[in-house]
Amino acid sequence: MHTSGTTAYPPLTEDVEVDVAVVGGGIAGLSTAWELTRAGRTVAVLEADRIAAGVTGYTTAKVCALHTLVYDRLRRTHGEEAARLYATSQQGAVERVAEICAGVAIDCDLERAPAFTYSVRQEGTDILRAEAEAAREAGLPARYTEDTGLPFAVAGAVRVDDQAQFHPRRYLLALAEDLVAQGCVIFERSRVTEMLGGTPCTVTTEAQHTVTAHAVVVATHYPIFDRAFLFARLQPRRELVVAAPLASDPGPLGMFITEDEGRRSVRTAPYGADGQRLLIVTGESFTPGTGDAAASFARLDSWMREHFAVEDTAYHWAAQDNDSGDGIPMIGPLHPGARHAYVATGFGGWGMSSGVLAGQLLSGLITGDDVPWAELYDPRRLWHAMREAPALLRQQADVARHFVRDRLHTAHVDSVTEIPPGSGAVVRVDGHRCAVYRAEDGTVRAVSARCTHLGCIVAFNAAETTWECPCHGSRFATDGSVLQGPAMWPLAPVELPGTQPGPGQGEGGATTSGP
């Protein structure tokens, strides 16, 4: 975000008609729009904020087909053909990025490098050997190795060569310019709040302007329209990132990930004009609205400094991912009855390759082209139901626990006066739970603590100064505005007795926003 340009595409201010409406301007939405435009379709992209500025703007930007330990699991649970199709489609996405960069002349720091899944535990080597064998059988150039180039010892690793890493914003902003040159229209600050299926389909923004289209693609990371109850099959998680310039050497060549030590993911990127590299370290996952993000950031930063020679930490942030119950993304028809509505979600932390793949797959479905791996990713898949069941039950038990417990649990503080500057807490006021934030200058801002998606109680994330829903991962700013779905409506502002409303909240007590 700091090393790429800004965008200023106009909002939707009148009704339009196109072949395909794409809701969401991240890598999945823009890739789908690009593929469809190249296929001769007219496309409108509608983004609630700015394109490539949500999850895609804060990704660690690995474009690879080695997704930790996926292939041996796929081989055992879904069969060798499923593993082969997964490898073919994911590696195809890697090559598609390289092809587009060359064809459109995009300068986005694209680098081809090996990807590693490693373990520091000797007892983990048998798992890695099985993964290397499964990935090789699936068609990837995979091999087992004990030499990674990392500055610390590992017990073993899976290596797959010729993967990629890049600057996703530079890639996507150039892709957007090419899209507009081809006749696609992009609308920013145009939050979609309603969709009607049928022939044709219509989507409506909160400003009550509509796009009429033959097909609609919902590429909002977490589906904002969910008639198939996909939220019951998705588990949101936040993952922290720290980044620091390497002190002397260029760092290890490649992209590295391990499930050890609470999961750690490492890569480097160009930093500055003198050949210096930025070390990017990811890990410390937690469900939104739970955990101590500040402590997790401290652990991650400490791990980075223990294992690498780096300068002062230059950046830290968090990104959000959605895991499907069976570990396979959901790309295809939105629900069993859908004829012209499609979705892309559940990328499980591998959104760069899966987002590009989604563009290819959805474009093929809409234009009538045969896509060999369409059934593997189909959100309507029932043949995975038994395999999804344990994860589904665990997730829904957690949701039910939050839905009930968070209502019965006593408030975090007894009164607003107990909230220190720069902090927030859920407070019971006149029998209602309010999410109250006190700014550093003492100004108090209060909103309803009830998430506008399905009504769970939000919690305060002090490290990111946000309200987060622990049930399905919606995130809100302290003024209640939506930062991340599936929620479409802001948290309702509340006027507390004896306090002044925060900036932008106005006068006159509580109001309602949305259904």
What whole-number distance in Å separates Cα of residue 322 and Cα of residue 351? 10
CB 404 within 8 A of CB 410: no
Question: Considering only 245-259, 334-348, 398-412, which range has the smallest mean pLDDT?
Answer: 398-412
pTM, two decimals, is 0.84
Please give the pLDDT value at position 404. Answer: 43
pLDDT value, residue 207: 95
Q: What are the tens digits of pLDDT across the range 88-103? A: 999 999 999 999 999 9
Tell me which architecture the domain covering 16-386 has in CATH. Answer: 3-Layer(bba) Sandwich (3.50)
Average pLDDT over residues 187-211: 95
Domain residue ranges in the chain: 16-386, 409-515
Once rounded to an integer, what is the mean pLDDT over residues 151-156? 96
33-80 pLDDT, tens digit per residue, is 999 999 999 999 999 999 999 999 999 999 999 999 999 999 999 999
Q: Which CATH number fits domain 409-515: 1.10.10.10, 3.10.20.30, 2.102.10.10, 2.40.37.10?
A: 2.102.10.10
Q: Which residue has better confidence, 485 or 137?
A: 137
Q: Residue 82: pLDDT band by 50, 70, 90 thresholds?
A: very high
Whether the pLDDT of residue 512 is over 80: the answer is no
Task: Tell me the one-letter amino acid at 91.
Answer: Q
- 16-386 with 409-515: one CATH topology? no
What percent of the chain shows pLDDT beyond 70? 89
In the prediction, which pLDDT does 312 show? 97
What is the chain's mean pLDDT, rounded? 89
Angle at 350 between CA 185 and CA 155, to 5 degrees: 160
Sign of CA pseudo-dihedral 440, 445, 449, 452: negative
Give dist(CA 222, CA 344) in Å, integer.
9
User: What's residue 228's pLDDT?
Assistant: 58
- Say what the pLDDT of residue 214 is: 97
Span of 169-178, 302-311, 409-418 with lowest mean pLDDT: 409-418
Q: Which of 4-18, 176-190, 420-434 shows the lowest mean pLDDT across its residues?
A: 420-434
Q: Decide which of 237 and 175 is more confident.
A: 175
Q: Looking at 154-158, 281-285, 303-307, which range is the least confident one?
A: 281-285
User: Per-residue pLDDT for 409 more than 70?
Assistant: no
What's the confidence (pLDDT) of residue 383? 52
Q: Which amino acid is at 32?
A: T
Average pLDDT over residues 286-311: 91
Name the 3-class secondary structure at 316: strand
Dist CA 217 CA 26 (whole Å) = 12
Query: 95-131: b or e for each residue (b if 16 or more CB lie within 10 Å)?
Result: ebbeebbeeeebebebbebbbbbbbbeeebbebbebb
Task: Find the mean pLDDT for residues 223-228.
Answer: 73
Q: Tens digit of pLDDT for each residue in 487-510?
A: 888 999 988 875 544 444 443 333
Q: How does pLDDT run across 464-484, given as a tens digit for each residue?
A: 899 999 888 889 999 999 988
Confidence of residue 287 (pLDDT cuts 50, 70, 90): confident
- Categorize the per-residue pLDDT at 428 as very low, low, confident or very high, splitting at 50, 70 and 90: confident
Token pair 């997730």 is found at 395
* pLDDT score for 64: 97
- pLDDT-derived band of residue 390, with 50, 70 and 90 as boundaries? low
Relative to beta strand 43-46, strand 16-23 is parallel
